[in-house]
Structures are given as structure tokens and as C-alpha cells.
Amino acid sequence: MYKKRLCLPPGPTPLPLVGNLLQGSTILYDTYGKFTEQYGPIFTVWNGTSPAVALCGYDVLKEALVNYAKLFSYRGSIPISERLMNGCGIVTTNGELWQQTRRFAVASLRNSGLGTRTIDQRIQEEASHLIQAVKDINGQAFNPQTLLGRAVNNVINLTMFGKRWDYKDKQFLSFLKIIDNLFLFLRSPLGVIYASFPMLMKYLPGPHQKKFHDTEAVKSLIKEQIVSHMETLDVESPRDFIDCFLIQMKKVNLLQGNVFSIENLMLTMFELFIVGTETTANTLYFSLLVMIKYPQIQDRIQQEIDIVIGTDRLPKLADRIEMPYTNAVMHEIMRFVDIVPMGLPHQIMEDITFRGFNIPKGTTIIPMLASALSDPAHWEKPDEFYPGHFLDKNGQFCINDAFIPFSAGKRICPGEAFARTEIFLFVTSLLQNFTLRAVNHPDTFNLNTLRRTFRKQGLLYNLKAFPRGRANERCSGESNVTKKEV
């Protein structure tokens, strides 16, 4: 370990065997700010006996992930995902399999060949079910997180399988619970220990083994759907992602058989099923909390909705260009909450001198995305919720280059456009129909506290949704925070 340290950027001194795991927080995104102040924007931390170089700040991240993309784009080891994915999918793979699978998934998620309905239409269909579910609550206090998770997952289901589940379907709810438990495990100290000592943890008994076992039920459902689609496939009329993949399987030659295979189809769908639900649902949930925290922001968005969309139809993605303030708020929500503060690990492809540091081939690289989203060199008010970050002097929407919540370079999230579309359409559909209110005064909660809680164990916070025109009906005396609130 000592010899390795001589070749790497500075960082906190690791302990034998355990590295930096016992020094402060086990979660790097809780401590990177302190390490940056002490060691600069490039520093080394140790997960057990394995070093990882953290990159902080937009300029450093852009230089590595974009300017030196060829050297920094190889995926580093993610032990939990590797066990789940068996060398398939997009997240943990490299080389030809990764390139071909990613290219196919991106094209499919951008409406290429997904039957007669566009992604917009699939989201609109689910938005109508979500609106009805909120109406059925009839103005009572509720935690929207569960409904949002069901809605987001159903968009994935519509895209992958061509079908949706009822919000009360027991099998559907059990699968969502499996996803939730898996993410809780990933963020927990036990998950960090597994990632640091995978060969040991793979065989040790414990609650982590059940997390892996439970995912087999989700994989079995996907296999059943694939078999059903194979029996009813019409190559002239693809219905969904499965059909498109099966058709591609018939077209490719044997050399691409490992890419377009049933196993890769099943595990890629499993991957999209998992990663396409939790982060988007949590971003939507935080969006609603912003609306009840800042009623004036909610009012202004509703004014744009009334002018551009009206009440006779659901919002569509094409409306976004005419709604600069709404678009700015959606982007500021994604910046401020930074649901994924720490990017997935990369790996250096060859020895490199980067910003004065010699980094050897094979070194794990951790992109600290949150550091770009709060970089004071690129954001006027990095620690505040400020939609003006995305508005020019004329009040028109403008993007900031440091906005990289989906990462950057060759490993940028393939579902970025899909997720942005969901966030815009679900939020505008809800605000078109409802005005949201906190159960108690909005000053009783702090957004900075809430976003930190999001990253760890999730949050349960109640609100009320009144049909437009009844928003002044307020309720007092009820607790707006459940037991899991900080």
C-alpha cells in the first residue's frame, strides 16, 4: 500500500487493510468537500486495499471525461452490479458489448422503432393514471413518493414490455420494494463494505445475500415477458423494446451474437428497470417538495401552463421550448438535489500525467458530480435554490455547461433525455390539475436537510393536492413529517 501511495495524488492516510473506511463518513460524497479543501480537487482515497482517485470541480471533470475521454471512459469495478449483471448490460460492461448495447438502448429510448406510440404518449398515458390516483385521495395528506415510484416504473414497463400494472397490483408493489431495498443496500455502510471486500462478502452470510436473492423474482418476470414476445413477434410491427431487440437479433451475424442475445436482453432490461425508476422518482418527489416550499414558484409555473397548454390537453414535450421558467425550475431542481452526487467509477486505460499527477494504468477514478453542480466558479448561488441559474437576461432558458447531473463524456447516462422528459411531463401534468400545499407551514422544513436525507435512507414527507381553484383549503394540526424524517 505504501509503494502504491507514492505514485498517486495525496489524500487521507489509509489504515492497513481497511483503508479510509473507518475515517469519518463511509460515504465519500459526505466528505469530499473537506478533502478538497485539504488536498485540492484531485485526491486519493482507499476502499480497503484498493485506491481510487476522486476528481472534483467542473473544469477537472470536463478535462478528464470529455477532453481525455478515450483514456477515462473505461468502466471501473462495481462489485454489486457485476454480481447482478453477469457481464451483460450497459453499466458495468466495456468494449464492443457495451458500445453496441448502449447504442441500441439510446436509439430505442429516443423513440426509434418503439411501435406506434411515442415516448411522449407513453408518459402522457401514465400521467393520466397518476392524476386520477391523486384525485382519488380527495385532498387528504399523503406521501407522494410511492405513487411517483409506481408511475415512473410503469413508464419503463410500457417502454420495455408494452404494458403497465395497476398501482395496487401486489406483484408490481413487491418488485418496487425489491428495487427500494436494493438501493438502500447500495447506500448503506454494508454496501460500502461489500464494494470494498467483494470476494469475502460474496460468501459471508448476512442480510446482503437476501438482496441479491430477491432480484431473481424481477429477472424471472422479465424472462416470462421475453418468451411471450417471442411467441407473438411481428417483425413488421414492433410493439416495444423487447420486440425491437428480438428483431435486431434476427438481423445481426453470429459475431454479434454475444451482444444481441437473450441473456443480454434480459439483463439489460433488468438494469433499465432498476436504474430507470429510483433516481427519476426521487427527483420528481423533490420537485413536489420545492413546489410546497416555494408557492410563488408553483404559481409562476402554473401561469405558464395556463398560457401555453391550457386545460383541454395534457402537456407534451414540445411545450417545453415555450415555457422557459418551468424549464429553468426543472433544471435547477436536478442541479440542487444532485440525486447522484458521485458518478460511477471509471478506470484509467494507460499511465497518464493528469494536472501534474502521475496516475498509473488501472487506477479507479471517481467523478464527484456534485462538485460540478455546486462549483462556485460556474454557479452564481451554488448553495441556494435559484432558477435564475438557467435564465438569461431576457428571461429565456439557457443551459450552463457545468450542469452534468447525468455525468459527461462517453459514459453519460443513456437515459438522460428519457428522464428529463419524464420529469417535465409529470410535474407539469400534476401542476396543471392540482395546487400542492404543505400540511403545515413550509418554513417547517429545510431543502438542504431534505436533499441530504434523500441520498442516504430516503424521505417520507406528506403534502396535500387540491384541484386547481381549491388550493386555499389548508389544514393545520397534522404532522407533515413521518418517522423517517430527519
Cα–Cα distance, 347 to 274 (Å, whole number)? 23
365 bridge partner residues: 53, 346
409 bridge partner residues: none
Closest CA to 329 of 284, 394, 372: 284
Cα–Cα distance, 261 to 247 (Å, whole number)? 11
Cα–Cα distance, 413 to 400 (Å, whole number)? 18
Contact 425, 124 (CB under 8 A): yes
The one-letter amino acid code at 33 reads G
Pairing of strands 434-438, 74-75: unpaired
CA distances from 323 to 224, 283, 329, 377 (A): 42, 20, 10, 28
Is 413 annotated to bind ligand?
A: yes
Cα–Cα distance, 130 to 9 (Å, whole number)? 49
Grid cell at residue 436: 400542492
Give the DSSP letter of residue 345. Answer: P
> Which residue, chain included where needed, has cell 422479465?
222
Annotated binding site: 413
Annotated binding site for heme: 413
